Structure 1
Amino acid sequence: MSLPPGFLDELRNRLSLAQVVGRKVAWDQRKSNQGKGDYWAPCPFHQEKTASFHVLDRDGYYYCFGCHAKGDVFSFVRETENVGFMEAVKILAGEAGMEVPQASPEAQAKADRRTELTSVMEEAVKWFRLQLKTGAAEEARRYLEGRGFDEGRLERWEIGFAPERGGAFAALTGKGVAARDVIDAGIAAESDRGGDPYDRFRDRIIFPIRDARGRAIAFGGRAMAADARAKYLNSPETLLFDKGRQLYNQQRAREAAGKGQPLVVAEGYMDVIALSEAGFNGAVAPLGTAITEDQLQLLWRIAPEPIIALDGDMAGLRAAMRLVDVALPMLEAGRSLRFALMPEGQDPDDLIRAGQAGEVRRLLDGAVPLLDLLWRRETEGRSFDSPERKAALDQALKERVGTIRDASVRRFYEAEIRDRTWQFFRKPRSGGWKAKTEETARQATKASALVAADAEEALREAVILATLTMHPDLRDSFEDAVERMECSRPDHGALRDAILRAEVGEDGTLRDAVAKDIGEPLERLLSQGHLRVMPWAVAPVRAEAAEACLAEEFAKLEARRGHKREIEEAEADISAADDGDDVLTWRIVRSNRDLEKAGSGDDEDRTEYEIGPNGARMKKDERSAFDALLKQIGREAGEG
């Protein structure tokens, strides 16, 4: 079956290779750099434990350094689903919401027609560029010079001019191009009055629009006359041009984003050119319409977190707010938007021509997350002085966040909204000296308890890390738990990462490799006195005891952190009501009971192990004493 070349290009643009591959593999978070579209995983085509399968999402290719499998999104589906090429195309087209063209002479004719029209467009680009050098374009040249366009910039952006009379239709047909081709390319239009076709672009500065492959597919025209019906005019929809699925400057921006530059979405041609010439080469713009879902998908194919840089006026702000609603249902882990609003009444081009490229950089670096804009839209300039208005805000936010299809992203948005709402409506307590004293004492006690809890968590982390250092053979069994472990101290996090990547030494431990990698943090860890009561944490003895220790410490650590999360959620759910403290107290008591149960649930079945060459055993009461020791050290840390 023959497919139009444009169909496969469109299908590639709509799909992310990382998304397709991600359904079959588990990404190695240590090696992957999702922000740059660089992914690693164990190869799905052969058995292995290490991540040698490399996906370059922006380039659309994968390669395995183990079995040497390679290809693109089509070959991946073919190999993993055991289907032919056309079946793979149908599977992917279904995911992208596209219909596969049926095999027919008409389909081939359509592909051939696109090739013919592309040639016509390139001829038009050349002709428009020549017209900018004529006497008819004198005013246009003065305007462009005033906007900072020198010869080099005019050449780089292929700027042209469409004269008022003797336009492109006459020029192209005079060179032998068929009138129908000029019309179908969107350069000219047929008259409703039955006369000769007329030029769509007259007395306008011309900006060629190219697709992701660099082919001329449309034009944008800026009117020179102040009373023109439209200041900017784009080509109509044609066989080549679908304005809702294209971006101005997307080919150059893709290359720049691939080199680490931010992807910046501006409002128009002049903004894009000004940004690019000032060094922000990853600039693109929609083509005369609000950003569509298809354009969002295209943006995310280029970079995971585009920056929307809109004009600092009400129209720009409204466009940003509309985009929030378009983007929310489409958000995924690692895919979002940030917003940089320009100063009131200015756009990026204005700032750069005023010599304020540094200010543009500052605004882009300080771009706010999508959630900030959503919160601003729902709260700014509004009063919430009644329970009904507060409930209305809560309902509106829940409805918007509820449109997020990705469950993980939606959960984090809900948690952040709960926290912001609670902080927003929270009222400071008053009531004189006594109330202030009680509040101060309560906060001090809470802070001390938190310090003690954090100290105990840090001690349990130390036991886990020391044990893994002495028993690397247990690393694979607990790899997921180790990778997920949120370390309370930076040096513990560094040790965790070093343990995961270290090679086993001749003595059967990781001590030398980790020490060589990060040094001092390991020495501080192994010098902690409480580890001496657990010999497997300081020497490679009795792996079964070490395994039981790790399982229990991970369980208790998770229980402790679950307890903290419960308290945080309880506080977030409590409004400024008078009985708020009573509700919080009840939830704390319940959470403490659950924590105690998690910490002692398996004491009755715990096995006693030999732990040293002298045959000594750590009995249940000794284990209890060790847990008590950790808590005592934690309390002392809190009091200190």
Structure 2
Amino acid sequence: MSLPPGFLDELRNRLSLGQVVGRKVMWDVRKSNQGKGDLWAPCPFHQEKTASFHVDDRKGFYYCFGCHAKGDAISFVRETENVDFMDAVKILAGEAGMPMPERDPQAQQKADRNAQLVEVMEQALQFFRLQLKTGAGAEARDYLSGRGLKEDALERWEIGFAPPGWSHLWAHLTGKGIAKDLIIDAGLAKTSDKGKEPYDTFRHRIMFPIRDGRGRCIAFGGRAMDPEDNAKYLNSPETPLFDKSRSLFNIRKAREAVGKGHDLIVAEGYMDVIALSEAGFEGAVAPLGTAITEHQLDMLWRIGPEPKIMLDGDTAGRRAADRLIPLAVERLRGGNSLYFVELPDGQDPDDYLKAHGSNVLRSFIDEKANPLVVQLWTTELNRRPWGTPEQKADLDKRWRALVGKIPDPDVKRYYEQAIKEYRWEKFRPDNYAPPFKGKYHKPRDTATPEAKASLLAGAVDEAKLFLLTDRLIAAIALTNPNVSLGFRDGLERFEVVDPTARTVIDSIIGLSEQLSPDELRAEVEAAVGKGATDRLLEDRMISIQPCVRKKLPADVVLHELTYNIAVVSARRSALNETIEAEEDLGDFPSQVIDNRLIAATRALDDALKGGKDDQTQYAVSDSGARMKKDELSAFEDLLNQIGFAKKGLPPKS
């Protein structure tokens, strides 16, 4: 059914999103400002104690800083009431006192026909479930029992059995007076090309009903009992109810489970989903016999922002990942991504659960799930050999072509930066014998005593420097909640490398501004683990920092946060620019390379000033940029190590 122009705009104008959402949540009166339409509450889509769900009543949009759910009144009703778009519009139109426009007669006729097909499918489901309990279903019951499914599980999943023979279901349904064309249009029977009566689509198979997001039975999946059958699994054909490219097995139950805090897991088949759900992974779904389509991927992202793709540990599972990566890359945007979990060779989720149990699988998922960016890099790295310069160039072209398809410019930039870091780690000279055969000399220690005492200049190794600064920023944010919660935007934009620091900062960003320091510490410890926060704050290099060990004025703390973020970000940019400049030496004029390096070091110089008057003793670097003398010595050592190591030469002494 199509709606007339302006109908939805009028509907949104008549409604208050705050009133619509207010039926499902309890507003946080301390944090909300009713007069300005600025409303906060615990999120109705995931379990939480704090108010991270924000409603802007004037603009008519909501957003959760915890699970990233977002939308307007229509999407809110769709998700909370489990209805489709038109049903949500009907509900809201009734509340707003707006009559629904007249239906198109053809659309009404189609809807009535679909309702009849749904009824036929329910009749077939009851037939299959009854057949499983008869003598003809004994073999199927034994098989299911061997797979660990007890009677209560068979009832929960409505599993049935299609007996051997050509027309058992056909005879049953026609005997109930159901029109023959309805049985055929529902995909339950096929016409004979020999002029005989239509015959059953499913024969001698265990039957799994496939329900849509509204809970309607729209199709079946059948598992063959005959080992000689050419098709081990068979789905219903395409029908007015069923489009397998737009359907997912167990979508309705999984959506409810994900809303309660369960992970969204994508497995390969019915039995995998059932095994996962029965073991406590209730947010499991599966595509229906095909690779994941763009429509299914969009459905997954509407349920959860970061689904975990659980692949069988075989060649087919790896091929499925290869096909999904470019599809996902073309649709990436901030907040949505994928994780990939590849099980050990030859195992599927059901096998792994039986061998190890649910707790081990949960730990395996937590430890082994690769984010999409890592999966993309490793897939392209392993696709072809990469030993020669020509093969490395081919690898670069392939990953750049993929990343170039990311529509979100911010996501694209972070992907490019991450893969360049993976590339540097993989191909840096330490990983193979360098051309220079002599001994490496220890770099000359040119840093002044003042520079050695500096947290930033004391760590010459750039990786340790970045990680240590990340942890310092996280520690300052953790011990100064009044400042860090007011600096959410800056913390969100800061690119964190250290995993503990990232988890701490992410946890802080999603918390209420009303928490005391002790309450905030408790909330972060619940998310990260008390041991992790203790190790962070007891680190010798961090615990001595004034902003961590004692109470300082808010403006001082804010300055330290912004200064450290600016410095480490500028250092990373300068280092990346140096590496890229060396890679591009053959492609660009030397003047262009020089200008890029000068710009990068000037940005680092500005960050090191920290917004203060330029009263410090400065020196001029080789690039022409001014830098503090104490910082310049450490920075030159850093670039000296990196630049000469890349060329296979000993560092300057």
TM-score using structure 1 length: 0.68
1:437 aligns with: 441
2:400 aligns with: 398
Deviation at 1:188, TM superposition (A): 0.8
| Pairing 1:385-534 to 2, within 5 Å after superposition | 385-428=387-430, 435-439=439-443, 451-453=455-457, 480=489
Would you say the 8 A contact 1:272–1:285 is kept in 2? Answer: yes
1:43 matches 2:56: yes
Distance 1:282 1:575, change over 3 A: same
SS in 2 for 1:437: coil
Would you say the 8 A contact 2:40–2:55 is kept in 1? Answer: no
Q: Partners in 2 of 1:479 and 1:359 — Cα distance?
A: 36
* Structure 1: gaps (5+ residues): 9-16, 63-69, 77-84, 90-100, 504-509, 530-536, 541-545, 607-619, 626-630
Deviation at 1:417, TM superposition (A): 1.1
Distance 1:102 1:346, change over 3 A: farther
Q: Partners in 2 of 1:56 and 1:516 — Cα distance?
A: 19
Would you say the 8 A contact 1:422–1:575 is kept in 2? Answer: no
Q: Deviations over 1:447-479 (max 9, x none)?
A: 959834489998xx99xx99xx9x99xx98x88
The one-letter code sitting in structure 2 at the alignment partner of 1:563 is: A
The one-letter code sitting in structure 1 at the alignment partner of 2:398 is: A
| Pairing 1:170-185 to 2, within 5 Å after superposition | 170-185=171-186
Q: Partners in 2 of 1:527 and 1:58 — Cα distance?
A: 33
1:563 matches 2:564: no
1:364 aligns with: 365
Deviation at 1:371, TM superposition (A): 2.2
Q: Partners in 1 of 2:102 and 2:401 — Cα distance?
A: 41
1:192 aligns with: 193
Q: Partners in 2 of 1:190 and 1:200 — Cα distance?
A: 10
Count of equivalent residues: 538
The one-letter code sitting in structure 1 at the alignment partner of 2:108 is: Q
The one-letter code sitting in structure 1 at the alignment partner of 2:158 is: E
The one-letter code sitting in structure 1 at the alignment partner of 2:580 is: D
Percent identity (aligned): 43
Distance 1:373 1:115, change over 3 A: same
1:206 aligns with: 207
1:134 matches 2:134: yes
Q: Partners in 1 of 2:37 and 2:630 — Cα distance?
A: 39
Distance 1:195 1:58, change over 3 A: farther
2:217 aligns with: 216
1:160 matches 2:160: yes
Q: Partners in 1 of 2:205 and 2:517 — Cα distance?
A: 67
Mean CA deviation greater in 196-205 or 385-394: 385-394
The one-letter code sitting in structure 1 at the alignment partner of 2:204 is: D
Q: Partners in 1 of 2:340 and 2:388 — Cα distance?
A: 31
1:616 aligns with: none
SS in 2 for 1:438: coil
The one-letter code sitting in structure 2 at the alignment partner of 1:411 is: R
Q: Partners in 2 of 1:594 and 1:61 — Cα distance?
A: 36
The one-letter code sitting in structure 1 at the alignment partner of 2:150 is: D
Mean CA deviation greater in 124-133 or 33-42: 33-42
Deviation at 1:196, TM superposition (A): 0.9
1:263 matches 2:264: yes
SS in 1 for 2:333: coil
1:534 aligns with: none
Q: Partners in 1 of 2:417 and 2:375 — Cα distance?
A: 17
SS in 1 for 2:258: helix
Would you say the 8 A contact 1:212–1:251 is kept in 2? Answer: yes
The one-letter code sitting in structure 1 at the alignment partner of 2:575 is: E
Would you say the 8 A contact 1:430–1:436 is kept in 2? Answer: no
Q: Pick the structure with greater CA Rg.
A: 1
Deviation at 1:140, TM superposition (A): 1.9
Would you say the 8 A contact 2:305–2:335 is kept in 1? Answer: yes
Superposition CA RMSD, Å: 5.6
The one-letter code sitting in structure 1 at the alignment partner of 2:396 is: D
Would you say the 8 A contact 2:46–2:67 is kept in 1? Answer: no
Would you say the 8 A contact 1:33–1:39 is kept in 2? Answer: no
The one-letter code sitting in structure 1 at the alignment partner of 2:174 is: T
Q: Partners in 1 of 2:427 and 2:543 — Cα distance?
A: 44
TM-score using structure 2 length: 0.66
Would you say the 8 A contact 1:26–1:41 is kept in 2? Answer: no
Distance 1:223 1:426, change over 3 A: same
SS in 1 for 2:376: helix
Q: Partners in 1 of 2:174 and 2:132 — Cα distance?
A: 20
| Pairing 1:232-251 to 2, within 5 Å after superposition | 232-251=233-252
* Structure 2: gaps (5+ residues): 9-16, 22-35, 79-84, 90-100, 460-464, 523-533, 618-627, 638-653
Deviation at 1:129, TM superposition (A): 0.8
Would you say the 8 A contact 2:47–2:261 is kept in 1? Answer: yes
Distance 1:632 1:293, change over 3 A: same
Deviation at 1:195, TM superposition (A): 1.7
Q: Partners in 1 of 2:561 and 2:359 — Cα distance?
A: 48
Distance 1:417 1:102, change over 3 A: farther
The one-letter code sitting in structure 1 at the alignment partner of 2:107 is: A
Q: Partners in 2 of 1:322 and 1:578 — Cα distance?
A: 35
Q: Partners in 1 of 2:518 and 2:379 — Cα distance?
A: 52
Q: Deviations over 1:507-559 (max 9, x none)?
A: xxx9xx769977999xx999959xxxxxxx9789xxxxx7xx99998886665
Distance 1:444 1:116, change over 3 A: farther
Distance 1:27 1:483, change over 3 A: farther
